[in-house]
Amino acid sequence: MTKAKGRHPDKALSSVRIRALKASGRYADGNGLYLVVDPSGAKRWILRTVVQGHRRDIGLGGLGLVPLAEAREKALAFRKLAREGGDPLAERRKAQVGVPTFAEAAERVHDEHKATWKNAKHAQQWITTLRTYACPHLGGRPVDQIATPDVLKVLAPIWLTKPETARRVRQRIGTVLDWAKAAGHRAGDNAVDGVAKGLPKQNDRDEHHAAMPYAEVPAFVEKLQTSGGGESVSLAFEFLILTAARTSEVLGMRWDEADLAERLWTVPAARMKAGREHRVPLSERAVAILERAKEVSTGGTLVFPGRSGDRPLSNMAFLMLLRRMGLSITAHGFRSSFRDWAAEQTSLPREVAEMALAHTVENRVEAAYRRGDLLEKRRELMQLWAVFTARRP
């Protein structure tokens, strides 16, 4: 390698000069920082400094990952550490050992929280999807080095061919990265949060997936009133969409669960999939639906009774309405429509939508963060959803 002679330079390199360098050698920037050009043409940074009485060359990374300004910052930080008697290499090794890879973090999250999941099958599916789809791309990378483009590489191949699986993988990667941040291994935003902008819309889903693209929901809501399914069914269906609730939760709803003055619906634990009480903030339109349901009520305890008045609507009521409308989707699929809309059309944190869907918290750290049920943030989210579904062409 060649080495510049004469006085020591100070910030001798520039972006223009670096691009022009072709010959292999070592080019000084100043203060012990060098750009090394290998015979292959690859360019990388080294810092030559004295560490605890010994001259050491410390690699700072390739030019493609570490631009000039960052190389100078790293070199300055390492020189200061060495001047104070520390060992930059030892500190870096210590930091690298402390940051787990994505695969290690995923296994740790799974091991710590699988006991909280409802059944062993779900716990196994959770880690299997990550091992199958995420780990081939992310498994060996430290969690602090995973960015949105990395997540995009995982999701893009399966986003349209396996949309439901892709959404689960996205959510589970987000859970692992949330844990990494809470554990002090990451800083900044979750790399999952911006990934939707790089993915195509899942508008052409197979009947197997049974969900409506969220952009089509407003037109569907408009057609509900003329669907021929009866007012009680139409009101219940629209209420289900507006609250992102499960079919059984809506059909079994009782008047003593609703507080119209507080615009709140409290679903008791016995009727929730996760076995925990769930509070649902009601949008203005959801309250209006309940007021109309009250007007046509026969005086029973059920909000959406069937024909007999003392029994809820049939589980088939929504499915039959959809069939009459010529749609091969399910009522449950509107929860997916809501989740996609929340991710792509709002800036509210991901956990707000997850809480709105009453999803089981799969991460103990995240569960502690979500001990309060984010009611006011969810109130804002559900009102935005109601405004969106009321849009007309």
| CA separation for the pair 196, 214 (Å, rounded) | 14
Domain end marker among 52, 76, 98: 98
C-alpha dist (Å) from residue 30 to 8, 15, 36, 117: 6, 15, 13, 57
Residues 167 and 125 in one domain: yes
What are the pLDDT tens digits along the chain (393 aa)? 444 455 567 788 999 999 999 898 999 999 899 999 988 788 889 999 998 888 888 888 888 888 999 999 989 988 998 888 887 776 665 555 678 899 999 999 998 877 766 567 778 888 999 999 999 999 988 888 899 999 999 998 888 878 888 888 998 999 899 888 888 788 778 888 888 888 877 654 433 446 888 889 999 999 887 776 688 899 999 999 999 999 999 999 999 999 999 999 999 988 888 788 999 999 999 999 999 999 988 788 999 998 877 788 887 888 889 888 888 888 999 999 999 899 888 888 888 888 999 886 554 444 554 556 789 999 999 999 999 999 865
Domain count, the chain: 3
Whether 5 maps to a domain, the answer reads no
The CATH number of whichever domain residue 224 belongs to comes to 1.10.443.10
Tell me which residue has tokens 């996609």. Answer: 340
Tell me: do 119 and 221 sit in the same domain: no
88 and 134 inside one domain:
no
Domain match, 241 and 286 both: yes
Residue that is last in its domain, among 198, 231, 252: 198
Pair 88, 113 in one domain: no
- The boundaries of the domain holding residue 278 are 214-389
Q: pTM, whole model, 2 decimals?
A: 0.49
Q: Which of 152, 156, 164 is nearest to 191 (CA)?
A: 152
Computed on alpha carbons and rounded to an integer, the radius of gyration of the chain in Å comes to: 28
Identity of residue 48: R
DSSP H helices in the chain: 15-20, 68-83, 88-98, 102-113, 120-129, 135-138, 148-155, 163-182, 217-224, 231-243, 247-251, 284-295, 317-324, 333-345, 350-356, 364-369, 375-389
> What's 144's domain CATH number?
1.10.150.130
Residues contacting residue 157 through CB under 8 Å, at least 6 positions apart: none
208 domain-assigned? no
Q: Residue 73 sits in a domain of what CATH number? A: 3.30.160.390
Does residue 209 form part of some domain?
A: no
The Cα 188–Cα 171 span in angstroms is 18
Tell me how far apart the terminal alpha carbons of the chain are, to the nearest angstrom: 68
CB 46 within 8 A of CB 34: yes
